[in-house]
Amino acid sequence: MNVRPRRAWRWSDWVLLFGLLIFAIILMWQPLLDIASIGINDSEQSHIFLAPLIAIWLLWLRRPRLRHVLFQPSFIGPMIVLLGWLISWWGFQSGIQIYWHAGSLLVLVGIILSFTGLIPVYLFAPVFGVLLFVLPVPGVLRHSLALPMQEFATGVSYSILELIGVPAVKTGNVLVINGQSVAVGEACNGMRMIFALTLVVYAFAFSTPFKPVTRVLLLLISPIIAILCNIIRLVPTSLIYGYGDPDFAHDFHDIAGWIMLPLALLLLVMMLRTLRWLEFPVNSYRLASQ
């Protein structure tokens, strides 16, 4: 519900908006600082800092739409602020970290919508969607995925080594090659690559005038490609550990991790080219239809 008609922005409106945002950041300083701390200290959550950059990029691509965002105070914004504060407070009291974090971001969004109504949500939905990637992945979800992914990566790597004639022994999540034990631990399970690649694919999907079905397909297939690339990295890394210098193998593992991201994007591009070759309607006609 709007309390006054839409009009152009005034300097006093901007001052009030940024003043309230600063106040909200101070009020929600603890959960926001905790999000940043997790992104810094947990390598599997480093995509947190990439999300704001992608949000700015997607906003820049859609900047002509900003002219439609006028000053239009709405009661929806304060309701979202109150809801966000309650969610964050309840998350802190109950020890559920995802609610503590999500509520703090919802407060910031609510302040913006207090000045504009819901029009920015309609015009810049992909930008708001990136905020989901700012939230640290809950530990319960990570742990439930980590062990199956470690087992899968170990099993597939062992099968590939057998296929190419490399003698190896598989014991749990450990491969024994040439008497050397290669543990497929958390750093090798592909979790880090999945989150980073999904975020990059999200940016790619909403930076290009794809049809909605194409965007959904890209987002769904990105974890599969990330797992595939992780196995491509894991097999030569295991061979180097077994037959080469462990220090070089460690460095190779880290460097290969960076190489796998462009390789994953290359595989996605090849998939899109295949779909176009099959005359599958991949693209929309114009960017404004996003």
Tens of pLDDT along 92-108?
999 889 999 999 999 99
pLDDT of 186-201, one tens digit each? 555 556 677 778 888 8
Pairing of strands 168-171, 174-177: antiparallel
The whole model's pTM is what?
0.77
Asked whether 209 and 287 are in contact (CB, 8 A), the reply is yes
- The partner residues of 74 in beta bridges, in order of sequence, read 2
284 confidence band (pLDDT: 50, 70, 90): low
- The DSSP secondary structure of the chain, one letter per residue, reads -BSS--B---HHHHHHHHHHHHHHHHHTHHHHHHHHHHHHH-GGGGGGGHHHHHHHHHHHHTGGGGGG--B--BTHHHHHHHHHHHHHHHHHHHT-HHHHHHHHHHHHHHHHHHHHTTHHHHHTHHHHHTHHHHSPPPHHHHHHHHHHHHHHHHHHHHHHHHHTT--EEEETTEEEETTEEEE--GGGSSHHHHHHHHHHHHHHHHHTTB-HHHHHHHHHHHHHHHHHHHHHHHHHHHHHHHHS-HHHHHHHHHHHHHHHHHHHHHHHHHHHHHHHHTT---B-S-GGG-
User: How far apart, in whole angstroms, are the C-alpha atoms of residue 230 and residue 188?
Assistant: 7
CA angle 15, 18, 21 (to 5 degrees): 145
pLDDT of 61-93, one tens digit each? 999 999 989 999 989 999 999 999 999 999 999
Asked whether 180 and 166 are in contact (CB, 8 A), the reply is no
| pLDDT reported for residue 190 | 59
| pLDDT reported for residue 46 | 79
Query: Does residue 28 have a pLDDT over 90?
Result: yes
User: How far apart, in whole angstroms, are the C-alpha atoms of residue 123 and residue 165?
Assistant: 56
| pLDDT reported for residue 120 | 93
Tokens 């974090």, located at residue: 101
274 confidence band (pLDDT: 50, 70, 90): confident
Query: Does residue 275 have a pLDDT over 60?
Result: yes
pLDDT of 208-240, one tens digit each? 888 888 888 888 888 888 788 888 888 888 888
Query: Does residue 287 have a pLDDT over 50?
Result: no
| pLDDT reported for residue 4 | 57
| pLDDT reported for residue 248 | 81
- The partner residues of 177 in beta bridges, in order of sequence, read 168, 180
Range 275-279 average pLDDT: 77
pLDDT of 134-175, one tens digit each? 998 877 776 677 677 777 777 888 888 888 888 888 877 778
| pLDDT reported for residue 3 | 47
CA angle 25, 105, 92 (to 5 degrees): 85
Dihedral sign for Cα atoms in the order 152, 155, 161, 162: negative
pLDDT of 94-144, one tens digit each? 988 999 999 999 999 999 999 999 999 999 999 999 988 999 887 777 667
2 confidence band (pLDDT: 50, 70, 90): very low
Average pLDDT, the chain: 83
Asked whether 88 and 100 are in contact (CB, 8 A), the reply is yes
